[in-house]
């Protein structure tokens, strides 16, 4: 009987979360926001919708307004907040923040965001560093939805996962 317990646990994880990967604990981070204040994941409460994005990423620009709408639609009822994490690197003019601000302005979004200039948080969530990368982290700190890259029906599947949050 003991041989079957690990297999049973894995099957249970797959049934309840949709994948084995989705059951992992979300990595922590300490990143500066666009106002110059450090934000620590460990201090963020409730469900988190985390999106890694870059100013050069066309799919990111399409996805962000939808993520903002999800926060408006489900923020209160699902105790969920959107955490946008920009991964632009500073160039010789140290313009990562300027590029991020300009991109959000172009797509009509005014939402706070964090800067991951050295890709440390991105690396912990997504070693391949693909953007967009979107994660839904439940109030217990576990990733219950993960999507890397531009995939068909991401937003539909994400909304389904949001609706399943307690």
Q: Is residue 126 part of a domain?
A: yes
Contact 95, 89 (CB under 8 A): no
Overall domain count for the chain: 1
Q: Is residue 16 part of a domain?
A: no
Residue 113 placed within a domain:
yes
Residue 100: inside a domain: yes
Residue at 17 is within a domain: no
Which structural domain, as residue segments, surrounds residue 113?
25-164
Q: Is 7 a domain residue? A: no
CATH number reported for the structural domain that contains residue 131 in this entry:
3.40.30.10
What's the pTM value of the predicted model, to 2 decimals? Answer: 0.85
C-alpha separations of 137 from 5, 31, 97 in Å: 26, 17, 26
- Residue 14 domain flag: no
The pLDDT tens digits along the chain (166 residues) read 555 555 544 444 444 444 444 479 999 999 999 999 999 999 999 999 999 999 999 999 999 999 999 999 999 999 999 999 999 998 777 789 999 999 999 999 999 999 999 999 999 999 999 999 999 999 999 999 999 999 999 999 999 999 999 8
> What is the torsional sign of CA 59, 35, 50, 71?
negative
Residue 114 domain-assigned (yes or no): yes
Three-state secondary structure call for residue 54:
coil
Q: How many helices (H) and strands (E) does the chain have?
A: 5, 7
């Amino acid at each position: 009987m003991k041989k079957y317990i690990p297999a049973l646990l894995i099957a249970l994880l797959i049934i309840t979360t949709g994948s084995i990967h989705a059951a992992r604990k979300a990595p922590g981070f300490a990143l500066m926001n666009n106002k110059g204040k450090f934000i620590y994941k460990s201090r963020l409460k409730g469900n988190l919708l985390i999106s890694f994005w870059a100013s050069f990423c066309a799919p990111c620009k399409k996805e962000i307004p939808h993520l903002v709408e999800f926060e408006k639609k489900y923020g209160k009822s699902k105790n969920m907040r959107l955490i946008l994490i920009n991964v632009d690197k500073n160039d010789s003019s140290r313009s990562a923040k300027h590029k991020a601000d300009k991109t959000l302005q172009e797509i009509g979004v005014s939402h706070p965001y964090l800067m991951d200039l050295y890709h440390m948080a991105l690396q912990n969530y997504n070693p391949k560093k693909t953007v967009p990368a979107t994660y839904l982290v439940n109030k217990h700190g576990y990733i219950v939805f993960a999507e890397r890259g531009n995939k068909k029906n991401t937003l539909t599947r994400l909304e389904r996962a949001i609706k399943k949050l307690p």
